[in-house]
Amino acid sequence: MDEVSAEVVSRRMDGTAAILTISNPPVNALSHAVRDGLMIELRDLRDDTSVDAVILTCAGRTFCAGADISEFDKPTRQPDLSTLIAELASFAKPTLAALHGTTLGGGLELALACRFRVAHRTTRLGFPEVKLGLIPGAGGTVRLPRLIDPGAALEMITTGRLINADEAEFMGLVDAVTDDGVVSAAIEFTHEALAEGKRSKSTRDSGRFQEAGIDWDWLEQEKISVQQKARGLLAPVKAAETLIAGLHLPFEEALANERSTFELLKEGEQSRAQRYLFFAEKEAAKVSTLPASTLPRSIETVGVIGAGTMGRGIAMALANGGISVLLHDADRDALERGLAGIRDVYASSVKRGSLNEDVAKQRVALITSSPNVEGLAQCDLLIEAAFEDKAVKRQIFETLNAVAKSGAIFATNTSYLDPSELGLLSGRPADMIGLHFFSPAHVMKLLEVVRTPSTAPDVVATALSLARTIGKIPVVVGICHGFVGNRMLAARTAELEQLLLEGATPQGVDRAFTEFGWPMGPFQMADLAGLDISWRNRRSLGKKADIADTLCERGQFGQKAGMGYYDYRAGPREPQPNAELVELTARLASEKGVDRRRIETQEICERTLFPMVNEGLRILDEGIVARESDIDVVWANGYGFPRGKGGPMFWARTLGYKKVAEALQEWHSRTGREVFRPSSALSALK
């Protein structure tokens, strides 16, 4: 063993094979120090006649997770990744990448520049650049479709989907998969290759690209489909275009084209916003007020109380993370319906091909049920997901207090009620926390973790650790009506009725939202969620909304009733204008003396989104969240705020808070409505 450097890149010998190990915790990102270290080693090894082969490996939990994203806002330092990869790809002696953990982005590009790839069976590989508003920038769009089926390459690069090692082997992306130590397997593979004189072609001139020809029509169709699904995001579209263009171009030109597109995207607003969100999501999970020594409690079985939509979703979210669930509902029929609903969701995922049948079976098996509360005694965490009614919840927590074991955590999925009051009712305030999931709970990434003044630190730590286990993005929030998301949603919603009265239509407002990049507009969303939920909430607060209340009084609760802001009688996928609503808004406008006119998209956005930003700053000012970026994490992951705009606060900062404040001031002077009054926090930022 010949240790040359104890730096981020070290070298040792195994016979005539040099093993280069990158060690840059936590994820071996390809920082300048790593690139520099690798370049020095490669230049040294190129002409070393005592070395027959080079094996590239990484220390710690993963192979490289890609370029160092934190360097993207600084000038690029040489050697850049493309130069390094060109050096590696031009090696005449065999080169091999030994992969484990997650081999992503620039890390996979490094591996593609090697002649061979050996992966541990648990490895996951992919190009997640599109999620950062980017495309691969160091050969990914050029080498991958030359190595594997170009259609499969297009799918991987435009979606950012990770594949596992078996799939990678099947595609021809890796040469061998091992269950044992990947470095030993790589050494063995290399020595065999040397003995057999095996010289794989470089990805530049290998693969099905050469052999089978390309179905250009199919690729063009795929490109169109990517464009249709992109919702204004540039990166997936550019990824498809660059990959296809790269197949038409000579290799070096294709690399240059990819590089310049990557650089353009990197400087663009969308990628800046998406990179900001990447780091904001990591930050949100850090709670500076938790003592560093705080250990989470152990969670093996979770009781979910209530088998309705939220309860089922939460049960599936937990089972998807490998946690045993005991679903409880005192109503046996509701419990049966809940379990059947869960089985249906998994069965349709299997049918769609998005879930393996065995995995679906394992998840279903993790969810057991009990109509009796006594069964909940063994649970480490109890999540109440019952009807949004204080009396109902009070009774549940009183019962739980009687049956739950000591040390069990009590959580409520309430959207509006105060978890500290429920904590007092439960008799165990220190064990009480809010875990606010978003519907559908097995899909949506956001988890608002509502900390009460009495919640014990280890209960908060447990919630954060659980969120990680089940793949949720937690944001710790304080107590206020609607917490962060729904409180800001109320500000967004405040002007919707008024817009309809003044002449806007649900279709026009929804179009303004989808053009902005939202997956759906507020009226489509209200119809999908059901108008009765907010109706009930309004009534409990003694509030009124003339149009929505009338729809509810007529039983027009949205999609499930066949009518709401839209008419769904021709089918849920074919919403038509609701003629009764047209008549209703015109009548109400005339009764109230409101002049009707055409309302432009910009006005719709200002009157709905600026109040939301204003409320966000109040929330920050009141200390409900620790940082402004937490609000963006809530909106990007729980409410579909377009990621390419970074979240409401990032978007407002990009526009300029001054502009937001001036527009709100103008609307406030014109209408006198409270929702437009600039908050003191916003005024201070001007």
Q: Single out the residue of 516, 588, 519 nearest to residue 551, CA to CA.
A: 588
251-310 positions binding ligand 3HC, by CB under 6 A: 279, 282
The nearer residue to ligand 3HC, 73 or 252, going by C-beta atoms, is 73
User: Residue 374 has what DSSP assignment?
Assistant: G
142 binding ligand 3HC? (CB under 6 A):
no
Pick the binder of ligand 3HC from 70, 210, 356, 680 (CB under 6 A): 70
Stretch that binds ligand 3HC, among 130-138, 338-346, 524-532, 607-615 (CB under 6 A): 130-138
CA triple 118-122-128, angle to 5 deg: 85
360 binding ligand 3HC? (CB under 6 A):
no
Task: Give me the DSSP letters along 438-482.
Answer: -SSTTT--EEEEE--TT--HHHHHHHHHHHHHTT-EEEEE--STT
Measured in whole angstroms, how far is the alpha carbon of residue 321 from the centre of its chain? 15
86-105 positions binding ligand 3HC, by CB under 6 A: 102, 104-105
Phi, psi of 8 (to 5 degrees): -65, -20
Q: How far is the CB of 71 from ligand 3HC (least distance, A)?
A: 8
The nearer residue to ligand 3HC, 66 or 311, going by C-beta atoms, is 66
29 binding ligand 3HC? (CB under 6 A):
yes
Stretch that binds ligand 3HC, among 24-32, 90-98, 237-245, 366-374 (CB under 6 A): 24-32
66 binding ligand 3HC? (CB under 6 A):
yes
630 binding ligand 3HC? (CB under 6 A):
no
The nearer residue to ligand 3HC, 137 or 474, going by C-beta atoms, is 137
Question: Which segments of 206-308 does DSSP mark as H helices, in order?
Answer: 208-212, 216-229, 234-248, 251-267, 269-284
Q: How far is the CB of 38 from ligand 3HC (least distance, A)?
A: 14
Stretch that binds ligand 3HC, among 42-50, 133-141, 346-354, 628-636 (CB under 6 A): 133-141
Burial 13-51 (b: 16+ CB within 10 A, else e): ebeebbbbbbbbeebbbbbbebbbbbbbbbeebeeeeeb
Phi, psi of 172 (to 5 degrees): 90, 15
The nearer residue to ligand 3HC, 204 or 492, going by C-beta atoms, is 204
Pick the binder of ligand 3HC from 129, 169, 329, 431 (CB under 6 A): 129
Pick the binder of ligand 3HC from 9, 19, 34, 65 (CB under 6 A): 65
Pick the binder of ligand 3HC from 37, 79, 94, 136 (CB under 6 A): 136
Q: Single out the residue of 575, 582, 599 nearest to residue 495, CA to CA.
A: 599
CB 206 within 8 A of CB 200: yes
Q: How far is the CB of 5 from ligand 3HC (least distance, A)?
A: 22
Radius of gyration of the chain (CA): 28
Which amino acid is residue 554, in one-letter code?
R
310-329 positions binding ligand 3HC, by CB under 6 A: none
Measured in whole angstroms, how far is the alpha carbon of residue 190 from the centre of its chain? 39
599 binding ligand 3HC? (CB under 6 A):
no
The nearer residue to ligand 3HC, 143 or 312, going by C-beta atoms, is 143
Phi, psi of 207 (to 5 degrees): 90, 180
Helix (H) or strand (E) holding 381: strand 381-384
Question: Rounded to whole angstroms, how far apart are CA atoms 484 and 477?
Answer: 7
Stretch that binds ligand 3HC, among 125-133, 204-212, 430-438, 502-510 (CB under 6 A): 125-133
Stretch that binds ligand 3HC, among 12-20, 59-67, 213-221, 231-239 (CB under 6 A): 59-67
Which amino acid is residue 455, in one-letter code?
T
Neighbouring C-alpha atoms within 13 Å toward the C-beta of 475: 30
Question: Rounded to whole angstroms, how far apart are CA atoms 241 and 258?
Answer: 10
Q: How far is the CB of 258 from ligand 3HC (least distance, A)?
A: 9
The nearer residue to ligand 3HC, 148 or 277, going by C-beta atoms, is 277
Question: Rounded to whole angstroms, how far apart are CA atoms 472 and 459?
Answer: 17
Helices (H) and strands (E) in the chain, counts: 30, 19
Stretch that binds ligand 3HC, among 137-145, 336-344, 400-408, 454-462 (CB under 6 A): 137-145
Question: Rounded to whole angstroms, how far apart are CA atoms 643 and 649?
Answer: 12
161 binding ligand 3HC? (CB under 6 A):
no
* 53-58 vs 17-22, strand pairing mode: parallel
CB 10 within 8 A of CB 47: no
Q: How far is the CB of 269 from ligand 3HC (least distance, A)?
A: 17
Q: How far is the CB of 27 from ligand 3HC (least distance, A)?
A: 4
**Greatest CA span in the chain, whole angstroms?**
92
41 binding ligand 3HC? (CB under 6 A):
no
138 binding ligand 3HC? (CB under 6 A):
yes
Q: Single out the residue of 63, 125, 57 nearest to residue 95, CA to CA.
A: 57
Secondary-structure percent of the chain, ordered helix, strand, coil, rounded to 5 = 55, 10, 35
Pick the binder of ligand 3HC from 9, 81, 280, 473 (CB under 6 A): 81
Q: What are 450's two structure tokens?
A: 């509502």
Pick the binder of ligand 3HC from 14, 41, 68, 380 (CB under 6 A): 68
Task: Give me the DSSP letters along 541-590.
Answer: HT---HHHHHHHHTT--BGGGTBSSEE-TT-TTS-EE-HHHHHHHHHHHH
109 binding ligand 3HC? (CB under 6 A):
yes
CB 341 within 8 A of CB 327: no
Question: Rounded to whole angstroms, how far apart are CA atoms 241 and 244?
Answer: 5
The nearer residue to ligand 3HC, 38 or 432, going by C-beta atoms, is 38
The nearer residue to ligand 3HC, 215 or 267, going by C-beta atoms, is 267
Stretch that binds ligand 3HC, among 25-33, 451-459, 480-488, 672-680 (CB under 6 A): 25-33
Task: Give me the DSSP letters along 607-628.
Answer: HHHHHHHHHHHHHHHTTSSSSH
Pick the binder of ligand 3HC from 27, 446, 488, 620 (CB under 6 A): 27
The nearer residue to ligand 3HC, 317 or 386, going by C-beta atoms, is 317
69 binding ligand 3HC? (CB under 6 A):
yes
Q: How far is the CB of 647 from ligand 3HC (least distance, A)?
A: 17
132 binding ligand 3HC? (CB under 6 A):
yes
Q: How far is the CB of 323 from ligand 3HC (least distance, A)?
A: 18
The nearer residue to ligand 3HC, 79 or 429, going by C-beta atoms, is 79
* Alpha-carbon torsion (173, 179, 182, 185), positive or negative: negative
79 binding ligand 3HC? (CB under 6 A):
no
Q: How far is the CB of 629 from ligand 3HC (least distance, A)?
A: 13
Question: Rounded to whole angstroms, how far apart are CA atoms 348 and 352?
Answer: 6
Stretch that binds ligand 3HC, among 21-29, 489-497, 587-595, 624-632 (CB under 6 A): 21-29
Pick the binder of ligand 3HC from 137, 338, 485, 647 (CB under 6 A): 137
Catalytic residues: 109, 129
Which amino acid is residue 243, in one-letter code?
L
The number of residues that bind ligand 3HC (CB under 6 A) is 25
* 53-58 vs 95-99, strand pairing mode: parallel
Pick the binder of ligand 3HC from 6, 26, 75, 288 (CB under 6 A): 26
What residue ranges bind ligand 3HC (CB under 6 A)?
26-27, 29, 65-70, 81, 102, 104-106, 109, 128-129, 132, 134, 136-138, 140, 279, 282
